[in-house]
Structure 1
Amino acid sequence: MNRRKFLKWSGIGAIAALVGGFAARGAMAANKYYSGPVSDHFDGTYFFNPGGEQPRGGLDLLRWKLGGNNIAWPDSFPSPFPQAVPETRVSGDRLIVTMVGHAAMLIQVAGLNILTDPVWDDRASPVRFAGPKRVNPPGIRIGDLPPIDVVLVTHNHYDHMDLETLWVLQGRDKPHFVTPLGNDALIRSRIADAKITVMDWGGREEIAADIGPGVVLHCEPCHHWSARGVGDRRMALWAAFVFETPAGKIYHIGDTGFHQGINYRAAREKHGAFRLANLPFGAYEPRWFMQAQHQNPDEAVEGMLLCDAAFVAGHHWGTFKLTDEGIEEPLAALHTALDARGVSRDRFRPMRPGEVFEVPTISV
């Protein structure tokens, strides 16, 4: 096999690991990450989306990758914003989100510095030589981060869980890691002494009350799945989170399929309106393959309205090429969806690396 073909197929292999590999459901007899009681989203071995769809298998993956509908990205897609140097902390009614890239965001609120799904690596991949490569540098140099109190890891896909980045953050700040069931085993495989809060859907924890007034964190459902490679598909849980803070409520989703808006409606019913929602709106083509795991911009706007978010920090676009759409297609589709619903574009910010969004206050 020549070098070009090798890199092409090794790239497919990296994506296969990202989306679950070629293993069938019964590849392993037991869950390697988690052991716990059966629930409405755990059958004793595998987690699942109640009333939802499961991820497609290897044959569908090959059908997609060989379909010929991929739109190439440029090798470089620089952000119009310089790399940010965040404030040390913010307090009062202030709420600031600074974009690192993809789903990695710095949330500063109520005296806390929270990082979501931090990935500083050049690739979102299990290997260094292939797989999705970032097309712009992180929006914050890791040395310019303020002291990090909480690191939120929503699930274990490589574009959301980078164990080397987590190891660096542990050495730098010894933060409090928060993650859904089973992901703690992966984190501890690299960071044995990590402080980890492990949460199930419906869970509630008060975080870092010793730093400030306390922030209550709720773990909520989203429609997605998990895998790090061959043989561990759906063995760790995925989740969305709600931060209940003195400055307002924040709804954070790392990845999700729209799932008829069920989870958005449930979040609104349980928590009320949100000052901010951090919503993914990229990596969605082809729809026949991606619909169950990644919402498109139109669905993201619908989700914003269903959960009653005053503002949205949009993420999961323009850094790692995971799917077929062109690099700026999510932006154009987002504007079309907002305009069609009469929603001001200022309310849904498609965040770029280095961009700093000081979220306006809202009247209650």
Structure 2
Amino acid sequence: MKRRTFFKWSLAGAVAVLSGGFTARSSMAANRYYRGPVSDHFDGTRFFNPGGVEPNGFGDLLRWRFNGQQATWPKTPDPRATVIKPEASVTGQNLRVTMVGHASMLIQVAGLNILTDPVWSERASPVSFAGPRRVSPPGIRLEDLPRIDVVLISHNHYDHLDQPTIARLEAGHKPTFVTPLGNDVAIRKVAPEAKIALMDWGDALDIKDGISIHCEPAHHWSARGLGDRRKALWAAFVISTPAGRIYHIGDTGFHDGINYRAAGKTYGSFRLAILPIGAYEPRWFMKGQHQNPDEAIEGMRLANAAYAVGHHFATIQLTDEAMDAPEKALTAALAKHDVDPARVRPLHAGEVFDVPPERNPA
């Protein structure tokens, strides 16, 4: 292995460790993020996925990072990416999603502007000089955002909770940050006066005029450094609006479809499901925490979603698959499950999806 390649992989491994890639499984140190009663997904110190699997340990991390199988991504921006300036809002029965990049999207519905897992930084990393770097600029310049009412943050990994972006959003928009238990600690470090709504799985939050946000399980984990694995909660969100329900997932493993079935049973159907379709290889390492496109389409069907947006691809290389692999796998999954490709949109930076009215998913 050439010295440069070895350094590249060593650095990538170090960043993975710094962002929570490893902590001692036996460590039960006090939780500085959250204190609360024991529940079916909190043991008094750490959160967990009921009936699920824990993230892999340090030995598996090294086995993966030194496997020599990571595809080479282009160093230039994705030619399909664009930069746009969105409208101020959408009303009535309209529902619009604009891709910023990775898991960051602008959802516009019922006069409300919602950002998901906003990351405008150059790198998804605890440091600005190293770590996974975006290959395309954000599809919306931060200064071109319309008034932001709500920011959903699904968990605290660096590609979802970006403190520099949070600080800028708080300064410019004063939104309500909605996030699972324990993530307020990272937010308040850069936005001490921020309005934060903390949610546990099963909680609901009324926003305004028939709009509510519900916190639902996802099969994932959390960490931002050494020793804090699973000490803040992760979640999916359901946004209930007069224009229909939206099921938003930032990161999840398929988990035998358990959470998708539960969402379909609880809410009946969704106009839109926003689902991760990238960062899934190698499967032996990623399967428990990151679903692949085939599992995403199966989840869409189990949740009874009329339409879906695919994200978590073609922006930041976190795993082994090629940049275009998720879209190719998605095409195969749509054919396998006999789902009309018009119902599923893998969005690139700056791309807009005006979601059609809800129809019977069957």
TM class, shorter-length:
over 0.9
Give the structure 2 partner of residue 348 of structure 1: 344
| Structure 1 CA distance for aligned equivalents of residues 173 and 119 of structure 2 | 16
Contact persistence 2:200–2:215 (CA under 8 A)? yes
Q: Does 1:112 align with 2:112?
A: yes
CA apart distance, 1:77 = 3.6
Over 3 Å counting, the alpha-carbon distance change for 1:363 and 1:260 in structure 2 is: closer
What corresponds to 1:63 in structure 2? 63
Q: Secondary structure at the match of 2:310?
A: strand
Letter in 2 for 1:270: T
The SS at the match of 1:190 is coil
Shift of 1:324: 0.4
Q: Give the whole-Å Cα distance in 1 for the aligned partners of 2:100 and 2:10.
A: 29
Worse-superposed segment, 354-363 or 252-261: 354-363
Q: Is the 8 A contact 2:163 2:187 kept in 1?
A: yes
Residue 16 of structure 1: how far off its partner (Å): 2.2
Q: Which residue of 2 aligns with 1:266?
A: 262
For 1:244, which of 237, 240, 244 is the aligned residue? 240
Cα deviation digits, residues 25-50 of structure 1 (max 9, x gap): 34352111000000000000000000
CA contact (8 A) 1:79 1:354 kept: no
Deviation at 1:363, TM superposition (A): 4.6
Taking structure 2 as the reference length, the TM-score comes to 0.96
Q: CA deviation at 1:232?
A: 0.3
In 2, are the aligned partners of 1:280 and 1:295 still within 8 Å (CA)?
yes
Match of 2:203 in 1: 203
Structure 1 position 3, deviation (Å): 6.9
Taking structure 1 as reference, are residues 363 and 318 closer, same or farther at Cα in structure 2, changes over 3 Å only? closer
Q: Is the 8 A contact 1:154 1:239 kept in 2?
A: yes
**Count of aligned residue pairs for this structure pair:** 359
Q: 2:269, 2:79 → 1: CA distance?
A: 31
8 A Cα contact 2:9 2:65, kept in partner: no
Q: 2:85 aligned with 1:99, yes or no? A: no
Q: Is the contact between residue 12 and residue 65 of structure 2 (CA under 8 Å) also seen in structure 1? A: no
Q: What residue number does 2:335 align with?
A: 339
> Following TM superposition, by how much is the alpha carbon of 1:354 offset from its aligned partner in structure 2, in angstroms?
0.2
Match of 1:163 in 2: 163
CA distance in 2, matches of 1:345, 1:271: 24
- Percent of aligned pairs with the same residue? 60
Structure 2: give runs of 5+ residues left out of the alignment.
none
Structure 1 position 21, deviation (Å): 3.4
Change (3 A) 1:270 1:79: farther
Q: Is the 8 A contact 1:79 1:352 kept in 2?
A: no
Measure the CA separation in 1 of the matches of 2:224 and 2:71. 26
Whole-angstrom distance in 1 between the partners of 2:21 and 2:134: 22
In structure 2, distance between residues paired with 1:33 and 1:91: 38
Tell whether the 8 Å contact from 2:77 to 2:137 is kept in structure 1 after alignment.
Answer: no
The SS at the match of 2:146 is: coil
2:11 maps to 10
Partner of 2:129: 129
For the Cα contact (< 8 Å) 2:155–2:235, is it kept in 1?
yes
Structure 1 pair 300/4, CA: closer, same or farther in 2 (3 Å)? closer
Judge conservation of contact 1:21–1:231 (CA < 8 Å) in 2: no
Instruction: Please show how residues 1-364 of structure 1 align to structure 2 within 5 Å.
Output: 5-18=6-19, 20-27=20-27, 29-207=29-207, 209=208, 213-363=209-359
Q: State the distance in 1 between where 2:9 and 2:81 align.
A: 32
Q: Distance in 1 between matches of 2:283 and 2:316?
A: 18
After TM superposition, where is structure 1 displaced by more than 6 Å over at least 4 residues in a row?
1-4
> Which whole-Å CA distance do the structure 2 matches of 1:342 and 1:79 have between them?
29
Q: How far has the Cα of 1:320 moved from its partner?
A: 0.5
Secondary structure at 2:21 match in 1: coil
Structure 1 range deviating more: 135-144 or 65-74: 65-74
Q: Is the 8 A contact 1:79 1:353 kept in 2?
A: no
- Deviation (angstroms), 1:202: 0.3
